Structure 1
């Protein structure tokens, strides 16, 4: 965006060359996050609306009225969002209002939103309904009851109109059971729920067997955007509307009025509520932050986008991170900092449910057997070679030993940061008649033949990584692989990153962005620090309702080997997650509910935990650095059965059942 004197004068005339006029115009452009061209268009609109003869004169008086005109336009837009929410609440539809989407995107219907807060109208919408877990005390809605002291299986309950029903654990620690073992292929290293549930048998490769139905729960067309073409205005609108949406969410959750909210950047003795984004107090801040270096970024409606330093002296126990949207209670007595009295809990998303008809349908498709799913995460080669033996051995064990219904494989399949790829040292493969000449051919001639060896009765889901050489998208959110272009068989399905889909009744949320490593928490207080880091980050994901709530994305560095003995190794900084800000809505939970299972591969230690009745899984890396064998996850989900009482029945307009996947599934972390 050009901000020179020539542009201002060419648009607004010679009067704009005056220092006071020029400064005011630049301030308006900055405050309302619009270009000078757009500001001039709005000036023309303002001039047409004025009836006095001097309306087009560029003077301080008219500019003051022009500022009020811009503010009125913004408030009108915010009011329209509020009206949509009010109508939704009156009609019983608690999904949040639609957000403006980029022009290139076409939703499933004309009214669908880019953002995950609205349920896309897929064929499953009529059958899948959501259960409200808000703590509003209404007898017709479900809510969490929290108890003091150590959390256990019985500490978290759900209350409905009838008697209270135990729904499960708040954290993963009560259910975790570890089994130590060496680095032996096929040996179980860690398990979740091993005492109660047996490992599923899997499919029968010789005879017709049970089947798991796959149903995507997202709109693939929304991911067909052109990367690295971010528009500053669209990006600012997305970031601003995220705050505005959470403001309405908090207001409805805590039953607050509009007058309870205020501008935290304005000096006042009054205690107010404020919703905003956690940001560093300095744009040039680098490294780890602390509680003294945080500010709150406001929305345009409740603070015209300004920032105010946070003072957390009265907060004894909290976990914050950059990019987090928070609801605060406090005051700004001196005009220099917002003294926080309380950090309010964000409401958790709803839980998916199924009808009795659906449950019986999935039970019949499984023939009463348990579903078996294997999950792997790349890279599939060591960092310093292109050895395919690891992947070949794994495929052989899948076909002959584990025999799962579904195999979910995360990229990168061929990592762009592999030292041989970076240096262009593609070796000769003796077993190939025709050697690969390009990176795409490296996949189709080296990796594809191995993947095709997977039994065609086993369904395979591929989820790309931003480091995949075969992916056309190198940013997050990321479009899926081109199945036909990569010559993949029909039993392969290519999903986006992130993606939400159903395997029978179970909703899976999959994201290939390492939030567990990238989130740099600012901790204050001993109690919060004593809790498991994975549990804290999992709760942040649920409260923020996004698979990757950190903003901006992380940076990581790699070391490029020296070309010769006299050369020094080069340390290069690359982006861990390149965020397409205009499309961050695609990283949010679909339908305003949390999936039953959330799988996010991470460089951290593999794990399987239960947090707020959601199973979180990190399968670990398939191959570790320098060729050490890694791990994968093996999931066994008991067949849904209305007679064994593992499903929680809800009395609503129709009979609905909570899936309770956390207590009828077993997750094993298995060595490769």
Structure 2
């Protein structure tokens, strides 16, 4: 595909204009960026405009150039400030049986340890040896998107930063100076309804209860031993599981589901995976180059090209499980008449008794939780002094009840580690001999300084040198091997867990950056990209719904002087175990944390809070950010919890109403 065609695919027919095309190509040459990155920056520029939608013309492209220039100047100011402010110290789930209402790739339910009780509104009988903890209900449109809730949500000063900007871009020149100082609140979500929590009182024995909802043993598989048949089986079962979901939700019969690859004059419901229309497709996709891959049961795994000319609005991406109504009249393509939405999972609820218990556990004060994301050192140094200072602030100023720390803690792609140029450390009596020693001697002593009353959760990255598991889904780190005390808990990537009444879903693979949508119609102007991808994650019921996963590589020269592409990092999916990346059980977490290279944000989508805390330290050494959550104590008084009528009196947590999120400089 030529450069002109790529630009037309991304920007539409307006890019066919010779003047517009020349200006776009000129910008790409000046800033050395590709078509995809150019389009993302254009979306960012469009988001800032007052018009609902903007036209691609020479006048707007001129404004776009000024916008890009301002970004570069702000970045340069930020980098210039670091040289004087921060000189571097070194120069150069126990898988229960499948539930009928909770289809999952491996039949994952909720782990036996800790033992839990699953109360369901549908009336599933309870086991005698189960104890009370988790209940779920099916969402309804009135619970998810009532007009009053949407109005309240938008009137509470929600984040305006959930747009496509990179971590290096800074909003204002003043903010670049603030980023050099720790403890500056950059942005706040829901400031009017919730106050900042006072945090943990170390004099009392108040503790939050942390309950994991996954079974670690299932993550201890051997990587780099993928079997092609196993991978094919998993991908096929994903389609079959969603087929059953659609049958139940729309009250269809198996005869309503047909094979879209067979020529027929009858309309059918087709379910499959979005893929390129050519197995050898290379480069960006467009709305006319998509196909639907069927399951082996329905279509023998064959693919059929999609014709979406009758659809006015749709957003799709490779790997997405999609449902269409239409027909294949000529045998060459499937004409889509309608897209069917996949229903959302359930929301977690608690009984009145549990609400009172969790409220009393913290003397009805709000709970404070801090979330950080690596890297924790700059690209030109292995100095972790900023992390040490941050730990002191945790103990003396912030005083959170819990800290969730995402890797990478020691990044395998760090230039000094990658090149083998590990510096010496005068403060250490014995110099580290391995990368594990490097972690144990540099990072472990800092982490051990965290007050033992603060519950600390570690979630690894596939780039962590200390992890023996470099594929996603990823096994947890070894707490004992890292010589960490008992207030530390090492969780898998991804993982679902409960802190008091709040359910967290955490995944350390960048879904927001990796998912490159193919958008048609008004979705681009009515919703920003972050919101659309968040909805994809909720509907697909997986933390990373993209397939195949994104790959990060770079151009190098081989021994013969030829340019080749070298793999650096990426999603690195272990396909036979993708079932472990699904939402655990049959509920959506209250808060989903997916760190991203995009700028930090907090956003409410379908009453679920999505958080990207931002990087703790940016590559050039500029202080990054972390997220500070303040969650009001649950109470049956005041109407903040939604009561759900049924056989048992239970309440929705409504965390999006009760939660304040401050993005603070590290």
Query: What does residue range 282-301 of structure 1 map to in structure 2 within 5 Å?
Result: 282-301=278-297
Helix, strand or coil: the match of 1:176? coil
Q: Residue in 1 aligned with 2:79?
A: none
Q: Residue in 2 aligned with 1:195?
A: 192
Residue by residue over 1:75-132, the C-alpha shift from the partner in whole angstroms, topping out at 9 and shown as x without a partner, is: xxxxxxxxx99xx7xxxx522377479xxx99859xx9xxxxx999999875422111
1:186 to 2:183 alignment: yes
Contact preservation (8 Å) 1:368, 1:639 = yes
Output the CA distance in 1 between the equivalents of 2:420 and 2:367: 43
Q: Residue in 1 aligned with 2:101?
A: 94
Helix, strand or coil: the match of 2:265? strand
Residue by residue over 1:382-402, the C-alpha shift from the partner in whole angstroms, topping out at 9 and shown as x without a partner, is: 122111112112112111111
Following superposition, the deviation at residue 530 of structure 1 comes to 4.2
Query: What does residue range 174-573 of structure 1 map to in structure 2 within 5 Å?
Result: 175-176=158-159, 181=175, 182-183=178-179, 184-205=181-202, 207-558=203-554, 572-573=566-567
Contact preservation (8 Å) 2:144, 2:607 = no
Contact preservation (8 Å) 1:372, 1:637 = yes
Could you say if the C-alpha distance between residues 385 and 547 of structure 1 is closer, same or farther in structure 2, counting changes exceeding 3 Å?
Answer: same
Helix, strand or coil: the match of 2:443? helix
Could you say if the C-alpha distance between residues 95 and 125 of structure 1 is closer, same or farther in structure 2, counting changes exceeding 3 Å?
Answer: farther
Output the CA distance in 2 between the equivalents of 1:338 and 1:241: 22
Q: Structure 1-normalised TM-score?
A: 0.77
Q: Which residue among 647, 650, 657 is the counterpart of 2:641? A: 647
Could you say if the C-alpha distance between residues 595 and 539 of structure 1 is closer, same or farther in structure 2, counting changes exceeding 3 Å?
Answer: same
Q: Residue in 2 aligned with 1:662?
A: 656
Q: Residue in 2 aligned with 1:41?
A: none
Q: Residue in 2 aligned with 1:33?
A: none
Contact preservation (8 Å) 1:318, 1:528 = no
Following superposition, the deviation at residue 526 of structure 1 comes to 3.0
Output the CA distance in 2 between the equivalents of 1:406 and 1:400: 14
Contact preservation (8 Å) 2:159, 2:601 = no
Q: Which residue among 581, 588, 595 is the counterpart of 1:601? A: 595
Contact preservation (8 Å) 1:508, 1:599 = yes
| Larger gyration radius, structure 1 or structure 2 | 1
1:130 to 2:136 alignment: yes
Could you say if the C-alpha distance between residues 569 and 195 of structure 1 is closer, same or farther in structure 2, counting changes exceeding 3 Å?
Answer: farther
1:584 to 2:578 alignment: yes
Contact preservation (8 Å) 1:218, 1:590 = yes
Contact preservation (8 Å) 2:105, 2:238 = no
Following superposition, the deviation at residue 230 of structure 1 comes to 1.2
Following superposition, the deviation at residue 357 of structure 1 comes to 1.6
Q: Structure 2 unaligned runs (5+)?
A: 1-96, 117-123, 162-170
1:631 to 2:631 alignment: no
Residue by residue over 1:6-53, the C-alpha shift from the partner in whole angstroms, topping out at 9 and shown as x without a partner, is: xxxxxxxxxxxxxxxxxxxxxxxxxxxxxxxxxxxxxxxxxxxxxxxx
Structure 1 residue ranges, 4+ long, deviating more than 2 angstroms after superposition: 93-101, 105-109, 118-127, 142-146, 152-156, 171-182, 526-530, 557-563, 567-575
Could you say if the C-alpha distance between residues 649 and 124 of structure 1 is closer, same or farther in structure 2, counting changes exceeding 3 Å?
Answer: farther
Residue by residue over 1:231-271, the C-alpha shift from the partner in whole angstroms, topping out at 9 and shown as x without a partner, is: 22221111111101101101111111222111000001111
Output the CA distance in 2 between the equivalents of 1:131 and 1:490: 34
Helix, strand or coil: the match of 1:643? coil
Could you say if the C-alpha distance between residues 515 and 219 of structure 1 is closer, same or farther in structure 2, counting changes exceeding 3 Å?
Answer: same
Following superposition, the deviation at residue 361 of structure 1 comes to 1.3
Q: Residue in 1 aligned with 2:82?
A: none
Contact preservation (8 Å) 2:111, 2:214 = no
Following superposition, the deviation at residue 568 of structure 1 comes to 11
Output the CA distance in 1 between the equivalents of 2:618 and 2:222: 33
Following superposition, the deviation at residue 528 of structure 1 comes to 3.4
Helix, strand or coil: the match of 1:362? helix
Output the CA distance in 2 between the equivalents of 1:293 and 1:538: 24
Contact preservation (8 Å) 1:356, 1:655 = yes
Contact preservation (8 Å) 1:134, 1:348 = no
Please report the RMSD computed on the Cα atoms of aligned residues, expressed in angstroms: 3.0
Helix, strand or coil: the match of 1:330? strand
Helix, strand or coil: the match of 1:397? helix
Helix, strand or coil: the match of 2:585? helix
Number of residues of Structure 1 aligned to a counterpart in Structure 2 = 546
Output the CA distance in 2 between the equivalents of 1:553 and 1:490: 35
Following superposition, the deviation at residue 573 of structure 1 comes to 2.9
Output the CA distance in 2 between the equivalents of 1:466 and 1:119: 40
Residue by residue over 1:504-553, the C-alpha shift from the partner in whole angstroms, topping out at 9 and shown as x without a partner, is: 00000000000001001001113434411111000000000000000111
Helix, strand or coil: the match of 2:267? strand
Query: What does residue range 37-56 of structure 1 map to in structure 2 within 5 Å?
Result: none
Following superposition, the deviation at residue 645 of structure 1 comes to 1.5
Q: Structure 1 unaligned runs (5+)?
A: 1-83, 113-117, 136-141, 147-151, 157-167
Q: Residue in 2 aligned with 1:79?
A: none
Following superposition, the deviation at residue 425 of structure 1 comes to 0.6
Q: Residue in 1 aligned with 2:27?
A: none
